[in-house]
Structure 1
Amino acid sequence: MDEILLLNRWIHIGAGFVGFFMAPAALAVRKGGPAHRLWGRIFFWAMVVAGTTAIFSASVKGLSFLLLTGIFSLYLAWFGYRSLYHKHMGRGQQASIYDWIGVGLGLMVFGGTIVYGLVTRNVISLVFGSIGANFAVQQLRAFRRPGPWPTGQWLHNHISGFVGAYIAAVSAFSATSLTFIPWPWNFLWPTLVMVPPLVWVQRRYKAKFSQGQRPEQIVEVRLQKQA
């Protein structure tokens, strides 16, 4: 088992290292362009590997913090990735079975995380569970809402999901490795640094959409086959 855990650790480190650099690379190029899609796809799969290996290691060692961050980053990465398939939601397009399964699992996992946090008085569990449950509930409401989604909603979800997954991954790395930073600042600084620019970008896009601009006028839009 020790050898398996060691191999799992190196795979986790490698995937996390790739993800740390791929996210800024995707943000630095034209949104929706070939390079953006390539770096974003690599980032997504890096987060899948990093999150899966974190969950495995945490389950074996009984590390609740690592387990929660692994689940949280995985869900946000899925949330951001699936949003690319929601460009015509409510206009002849409906949520697929993958969307319903993902939302259902999210509600169960994050609901259980909240209960665990309340029973054990674990603040981190309550924070992760509440944020994750909020994402899942909002997505569930969106899937059930009749009529078309607001203009650019899929783009907002895409940005929030991927940037959120990146913040969660950096927070986990900082909390477990940058021990020279006092707790809880070693866990919170990625959120404090990255959320304000995220909010600014979201508001900037929202203002453009309210002026009648379409997403394809702002970013390069590629239509994915529904899955």
Structure 2
Amino acid sequence: MQVLFDIMRWTHIVGGFLALSVFWLPIVAKKGGRVHNNVGWVYVWAMAAVSVTAFFMGIYRLTWDAGPDADAIPFSWFLLFIAILSSATAWYGVRVLRYKRRKAGHRNPVDLLFPSLLFGAGIGISIYGFAIDFPLLQYFPLLGLFLGGSQLLYWLKAPKTRSHWVVEHIVGMLSCCIATVTAFTVFGAPRLLQVDSVSLLVWFLPTIVLVPLIIGFTIVYKRKMDRPINR
């Protein structure tokens, strides 16, 4: 089992650094262009590897080897939440493109499963964070509560604007970027900098920086594209 864990860990590290290296390129590249599309897929596959391996390592730490560190269990739950957050948002960001021409509610079970897991994880892990008084788990999973709920509403309702798929694609992929950078600040940065921990402000900095970017892109594309679909 330890050998499998080591394979997963190195796959996670490689996938994480790849995602961290390229995530900004689709943001600055021309939307819909070759760089945006090709690098975007590199990022999605890198995050798929990160999500699968993070989920495995989180389960492994919780069930087989929590280690002597008192914070190992809470950080394992955070790793599981990051796995759910990154996979759900990346999947959502890709799938809204496939169904961009839909005119009715969407009921695909897999597309509803991911946001449901994200919503449930956001509630459960946040409650756990308050129970053990662990600030990172108290507040960060609320992002999953918001994103999971908004994704479910988007799928279940008929679109009302032409920009719906662009806006939701941006929200999905930039939310996945939040997961990417946050995971680095929580797990990667302390090891690279050889420090025991990073401040709570630094942990939330990716959310603080990227949420206004999401809002800004959303406003731009709504102004550019929106008018009632049936007119």
User: Does the CA-based 8 Å contact 1:107-1:136 persist in structure 2?
Assistant: yes
Which residue, out of 124, 127, 133, partners 1:115?
127
Q: Which runs of 5+ in 2 are unaligned?
A: 63-75
Quick one: distance in 2 between partners of 1:205 and 1:106?
A: 26
Separation of aligned partners in 2, 1:56 and 1:78:
18
Report 1:102-181 matches (<5 A): 102-145=114-157, 147-179=158-190
Which has the bigger relative contact order, CA under 8 A and spacing at least 6?
1
Aligned to 1:16: 16
Q: Give the superposed CA RMSD.
A: 2.5
Q: CA deviation at 1:18?
A: 1.3
How much does 1:84 deviate?
A: 1.1
Distance 2:221 2:131 in 1: 41
Match for 1:177: what amino acid?
G
Q: Which AA in structure 1 matches 2:134? A: N
**1:150-201 Cα deviation digits (max 9, x unpaired):** 2211111111111111121111111223235841133122223333233222
1:8 aligned partner, one-letter code? M
Structure 1 position 202, deviation (Å):
1.6
The 8 Å contact of residues 68 and 128 in structure 1, kept in 2 or not, is answered as no
Output the CA distance in 2 between the equivalents of 1:41 and 1:74: 14
Equivalent residues of 1:58, 1:64 under 8 A apart: yes
Report the counterpart of residue 71 of structure 2 in structure 1: none
Partner of 2:67: none
TM-score using structure 1 length = 0.81
Q: Which residue is equivalent to 1:59? A: 59
* Structure 1 residues 7 and 200, CA gap change in structure 2 (3 angstroms): same
- Give me the whole-angstrom Cα distance separating, in 1, the residues matched to 2:97 and 2:134: 34
Number of residue pairs the alignment of both structures matches: 211
Q: Does 1:49 align with 2:49?
A: yes
> What pairs with 1:204-215 in structure 2 (closer than 5 Å)?
204-210=220-226, 212=227
Give 1:202's aligned residue.
Answer: 218
CA contact (8 A) 1:72 1:128 kept: no
Aligned match for 1:88, one of 101, 114, 120: 101
1:13 CA drift (Å): 0.8
User: How far apart are the structure 2 equivalents of 1:165 and 1:15?
Assistant: 14
Report the equivalent of 1:224. none
Task: Name the CA distance, whole Å, in 2 between partners of 1:141 and 1:4.
Answer: 38
Percent of pairs with identical residues: 27
Matched to 2:8, the amino acid is N
Q: Which residue matches 1:184?
A: 200
TM-score by length of 2: 0.79
Q: What is the alpha-carbon distance in structure 1 between the residues aligned to residue 140 and residue 208 of structure 2?
A: 16
Aligned partners of 1:101, 1:43: CA distance in 2, in Å? Answer: 22
SS where residue 88 of structure 1 aligns?
Answer: coil
Q: Is the 8 A contact 2:106 2:156 kept in 1?
A: no
Kept after mapping to 1: 8 A contact 2:54/2:79 = yes
| Structure 2 equivalent of residue 221 of structure 1 | none
* Cα separation, 2, equivalents of 1:148 and 1:164: 21
